[in-house]
Structures are given as structure tokens and as C-alpha cells.
Structure 1
Amino acid sequence: MPYKKLLYGRIWVKMVDYRDWEILKVLYSQKNLTKAARLLFITQPALTNRLKHMQEELGVKIVTRESRGVHFTPQGEYLVQCADDILAQYNKIKEHVKNMNYNAGNEVVGTLKLGVSNFFANYELPYILKLFKSQYPHVEFKVITGWSKDVTKLIHNKDVHIGFIRGDYSCRGLKKHLLFEETVSVTSREAIDIVDLPNLPRIDYNGDYLLKSLIDNWWAENYSQPPFISIEVDQVDTCKEMVINGLGYGFLSSRILNDIGDLYKIVLTDQKGNPILRRTWMYYHKESLEWNVVKAFVNFIETLDTNASKKF
């Protein structure tokens, strides 16, 4: 391992331009000079010259050109492995310098990395960022969206500063703040008898794993036969539109139905008659509060009235 540390140090000194590492990562993913140059917004001759310069600086061959593209040498493969660490370190240094600017000038600046569930990204996040941006105009955002179970991985791995997660996922070791609770309803265009539900057409959609489990458990507690699923879709918004147009009933949460008042709704309850709730949380690592941009955003969310507007 001493050899690796020595080589790593030598590379860090020689290749001071962080763009070199981005070039290596993009070229490795594309294995094609023309495609890589297009993604990097440079010309192919400029990319070729940069590679030649890197190889001369390091005294090693990084890639070889073949009829089907480029092939990375063992040394090139190793450099690509180093790229992630070095770019992460570069971004950390850049954020730290911006944080120092805050301490000196009493201004919150920097890039906030957010992991956000699909629903939250579509229905809640734009309004939140608008409000936050009005207070802290020099903050930038990098937003990654996905299913809540995937966002939990992002926040655990520290790939994002803050995660917005829908559902009660296990997030040990993280700080959390409850944003809001929702009921889930059997929703249809016309009035229906819940006893007849197994015989009525249902609009089903690929929802979050915990939501699917919640609905399946409720169904198993109340019916001995499977549902009659007449239409399957991949998005909750599509399901909502199908329900609005009278094509069947669906299981929809209260915030999705905020702006729709003429639908028939039966709130799901447990065996004791209590409404079954779906919660949305903000998660973050305690140590991330050392970054002023994260601290400012967490404080902003914790003081935001989640019931003040239909937008949030």
C-alpha cells in the first residue's frame, strides 16, 4: 500500500486541474473520444491533447485507441479509481472555503445536496426551494430524486446532505424531523360500498415499497379474496387521473387530493378505528450541521409551518 499512497500523492501534485479527473471519468464511461468530448463541452482535438499532456506529466500510458473506441491501460484504470476520491476531496475543499466566506461575511453560500422522494420532488420541493432561495440567494442545489428506499441509501452513504423520505424507513444514527402526516383513502369518482371493494375495478400503480405493504396489510385484514385490478400504471398522478375520470377506485394519500374536492373518499383505519398514517421525514447527519448551508436549511425546514399552505 505504500506504493499506492506515493503514486496517489504524485498524481495529486502533477494533475492539479480537477477537469483532468472529470475527463478520465467521462471517457471511461463512454469509451469513445467523440462522445466524451461532447459531454464535456470540448472539441475532440482538445480532449486528445489533454490526454497526451496527462500521459506526459505522469510518464505512463493511460489509454490506447482501438477501432471501437479507447481502451484503458492498468495505469489508466487505477487513475479512474482515484478520480472519485479526488473529486470528492476537491468538492469538500471548495465547500469548506465557501463556508469560511460565510464566517467572514455572515452570508450563507455553497451547494446543498438533497435526496428527495419522487412525490416530494413533484409536489413540495419547488415551493420550499423558492422560499429558501428568497432568504439565501447565493445557495445552489443539487437534487437527486427516486423512491424513498433509494433516498435512504443516499443519506446513509453521505451522498447527499439531507434526505426527504416518505414512509417510516429505518434510519439509525440520523437526525430526523417530521414534516407532515397523511391519511390514505380509498378514492373513487362515485360513492361506493367498501364491502364491495373486491368486486370493483381498481387502478393500481407502482408506489413506494412501504406504501404497498401498508395497503396489502390493510387488505389482508379486511378481505379474504384478492382485489380486482383492472388497470395498472407506473405513476400515482396517472392513477389519480384515472380515478377522476371514473375508471375505477385507487388508494391515494391526502396531499395528492388537496386540490380535488368532488371525489368520494374512505379513509383507511386500523383494527381499532384509528386512521392509518403515512409520514414524511427530513433526515440528516448531525455532523453535517458543521456546514452552514446545511444548518441554515435544516433550521429553515424546522421552523416552516407545514400546514400553512397547500403547497407545503
Structure 2
Amino acid sequence: MDMRQLRYFAQVVESGSFSKAATHLHVAQPALSQHVRHMEEELGVSLLHRGTHGVSPTEAGDRLLRHAKRILAEFAEIPDSVRGEAIAPRGEVRFGLPGTVSELLAAPLIEAARDRYPEVRIRVVEAMSGYILEWLRRGDVDLAMIYNTSSPRGLAVHHGLSEEICLFARPSFGGKDDIEGAAVRLEEAALLPLLVPGPGHGLRELIEEAAQTVRVPITPAVEIDSYSQIKKLAQRGLGYGILPRMAVQREAEAGIFRVWRIEEPKITRKVYLAYSTERPLLNAPRAVGQLAWDILRQLVRDAAWTADLSDESQNPNLFS
């Protein structure tokens, strides 16, 4: 197996047919088919499902495709990597972001990268932190902002900030569930009609871990993973939401929500910049990673993100 065969195979899968791939590659279709058959014979597995409407990868083909894309991308970056910072970064950077991080970071990052690194194209992929972590390990994304670092093996992680998790509701909620003061103990909050993400969500796991320390069960009134829907339900008076303060700061300032600190214990969530240590980090991802880090911290300094910054020892120093 060689680089040419990997390139041919990747193009066949991307095109969905041998004829379209042959046209794109300027290669005769029979020769292209023969290359793929040789790969299948060498590996001893079928790589493609062949049908009248085209081709699609088998399970083994999917695995090969992931390797092929990574190898081809790294091969294409060799000249830039060898030259180092002497030339401007270029190429595609796949950046995994949780939805709430993307809401604040994606637009300023893409705008800044367009001005500073015009030959770099950023592809933002949004998902929950757990999915992004798995994509990062598989090489489906080059960089990620994640919350959970319970198993950092094979990853470099840099703690960027810590954000407070708070309780909130509409000001007129009132009645027997009204809360005096600016703070509430988690034990008291657990007795309220709570609006929180469902089991398996990173924020829900954080809340459950805190509740276990004071031996109180979390029995929500509503479980829904969408932050925007939790806020809508809280605004309609269906209960008290628990979310990062930055997610409700704008509404709190506008008087739409009343917000309480959660104490005993305080719940905080850390945001990390992460990338694999098992694969080379090329020039373009290095540049974008450092730029994302700088913007992340500037958002906190500008009060656009309500959080506490980590100390400067966490600075990744990826690209000067």
C-alpha cells in the first residue's frame, strides 16, 4: 500500500463512485478499480460496498478512510512543517467545540484567523464535550475545547478558565419556592423543581458529583440537554435552571432572570484546550490553537465570558 493508493481510495469514497473519482483524479476507471482491489487483497478485507447507485465504505473502509485522511493531510503539510514558522500557516484545521463555547468563541476566532492567517480554513465541529473528546482521540479533529479531562492519556490539555455553575429562575417565580439572598446551598436547591440536562450530559454529571458530596439526590422536574430550552422553560416559570453563569449572564443583566450562587459545595466547570500527543500537531493547527487560547482569555478579560482565568503557567505557547 502506498500514498497514491490511499489518495485514490479516499477520493473514491468522497465521490461515491469510481467514475466520478476517475474523472476527478484524471485516472482511467479500470486502473482505479484495480488499485482498490489490490488494497482489499493486501488487507484481506472488503473496503467498499459496491452497488448500482455507487459505492460506500464498509466498516473496515471507514477505518482505513480515517487513517488515509490523516496520513494524506500530514504528508501535504510536510514542507510547511519542515520550514516551521518561516512561512505562513495554511490548510484546513478541524476544531471541536461544545455548543456553549462555540457560541462565544467561534465567530471571533474565525474572524481573527481570516485576518492573521488568510490561507487557513477553520472547520468548526460542534457537539457535547464527551463526543469531541472521542473525535480528538480518533484524529477526526485537530484541536478541541473540552470540559472533561478525567482520562488525559495521549492528550495535551491546557486549563484556560473556570466558570461558575449557578441556579436561576424568572424574578416573579415567587411562592413557596422563593429564595432569599444571593446564594443557595446545593442541598436546598435539590428540593426545587429543577430544569437540568439529562443523564450522560457533562454538566449533569458535574451536578451529580457535587450532590453526592453532600448526599442529596437530584430529581429534576424536567431533563433536557438544550441550554436554550432550559432557559425558555425557566422563563415560562416551569422551574429553576442550573447552567453556567455565562449562559444566563445577558438575561440576568436584562432582568429576565434572577441568579443565585450555588454553595456548599460550589460547582465550577473547567474549560481546556486539548490536542493529541500521539500525532504531530502541524503548523496550521498550532497557529489556530494559540489564537483560540488568546481569544478565549481575552473574552474573560473583556467580561464577555463570566469566568476565572487559569494562571499563565497553563499557556500552551504553540505558535508565536
Residue deviations 1:123-157 (CA, integer Å, cap 9, x gap): 32222222232221211123332221222223333
How many aligned positions are there?
Answer: 281
Once the two structures are superposed, the pairs formed by residues 1-312 of structure 1 within 5 Å of their partners are 8-9=1-2, 15=5, 18=7, 20-26=8-14, 36=16, 42=20, 51-55=29-33, 83-99=65-81, 106-190=87-171, 192-193=178-179, 197=189, 200-206=192-198, 209-220=201-212, 227=219, 229-261=220-252, 262=255, 263-271=257-265, 275-285=266-276, 291-304=282-295, 305-312=298-305
Larger RCO (CA within 8 A; separation ≥ 6): 2
* TM-aligned CA distance change 1:249 to 1:285, over 3 Å: same
Segment of structure 1 superposing worse, 180-189 or 229-238: 229-238
Answer whether contact 1:181 1:277 (CA < 8 A) is retained: yes
Superposition deviation, residue 67 in structure 1: 7.1
* TM-aligned CA distance change 1:101 to 1:201, over 3 Å: same
Superposition deviation, residue 258 in structure 1: 2.3
Following the alignment from structure 1 to structure 2, what is the Cα–Cα distance between the partners of residues 65 and 132? 41
* TM-aligned CA distance change 1:241 to 1:310, over 3 Å: farther
Where 1:144 maps in the other structure, the secondary structure is strand
Residue deviations 1:81-131 (CA, integer Å, cap 9, x gap): 655444432221112234467755x32222222222232223322222222
Answer whether contact 1:167 1:211 (CA < 8 A) is retained: no
Across the aligned residues of Structure 1 and Structure 2, the Cα RMSD in angstroms comes to 4.1
Answer whether contact 1:178 1:279 (CA < 8 A) is retained: yes
Q: TM-score, normalised by structure 1?
A: 0.70
Answer whether contact 2:22 2:32 (CA < 8 A) is retained: no
Segment of structure 1 superposing worse, 245-254 or 212-221: 212-221
Name the aligned partner's letter for residue 208 of structure 2: D
* TM-aligned CA distance change 1:80 to 1:286, over 3 Å: closer
* TM-aligned CA distance change 1:125 to 1:310, over 3 Å: farther
Following the alignment from structure 1 to structure 2, what is the Cα–Cα distance between the partners of residues 212 and 116? 18
- Structure 1: tracts of 5 or more residues without a match: 1-7, 28-35
Following the alignment from structure 1 to structure 2, what is the Cα–Cα distance between the partners of residues 58 and 160? 26
Name the aligned partner's letter for residue 221 of structure 2: S
Answer whether contact 1:179 1:282 (CA < 8 A) is retained: yes
Name the aligned partner's letter for residue 265 of structure 1: V
* TM-aligned CA distance change 1:100 to 1:270, over 3 Å: same
Segment of structure 1 superposing worse, 179-188 or 109-118: 109-118
Where 1:259 maps in the other structure, the secondary structure is helix
Following the alignment from structure 1 to structure 2, what is the Cα–Cα distance between the partners of residues 132 and 64? 40
Larger Rg: 1
Where 1:171 maps in the other structure, the secondary structure is coil
Superposition deviation, residue 311 in structure 1: 4.5
Percent identity for Structure 1 against Structure 2: 16
Superposition deviation, residue 256 in structure 1: 0.3
Residue deviations 1:247-278 (CA, integer Å, cap 9, x gap): 2111111110121122122212235xxx3211
Following the alignment from structure 1 to structure 2, what is the Cα–Cα distance between the partners of residues 136 and 95? 15
* TM-aligned CA distance change 1:100 to 1:277, over 3 Å: same
* TM-aligned CA distance change 1:155 to 1:70, over 3 Å: closer
Residue deviations 1:154-193 (CA, integer Å, cap 9, x gap): 3333433221002443313533222221111111113523
* TM-aligned CA distance change 1:303 to 1:219, over 3 Å: closer
Answer whether contact 1:101 1:107 (CA < 8 A) is retained: no
Where 1:107 maps in the other structure, the secondary structure is coil
Following the alignment from structure 2 to structure 1, what is the Cα–Cα distance between the partners of residues 128 and 115? 28
Superposition deviation, residue 240 in structure 1: 1.1
Following the alignment from structure 1 to structure 2, what is the Cα–Cα distance between the partners of residues 210 and 80? 28
Following the alignment from structure 2 to structure 1, what is the Cα–Cα distance between the partners of residues 56 and 157? 46
- Structure 2: tracts of 5 or more residues without a match: 306-320
Where 1:115 maps in the other structure, the secondary structure is strand
Answer whether contact 2:80 2:283 (CA < 8 A) is retained: no
* TM-aligned CA distance change 1:65 to 1:148, over 3 Å: closer
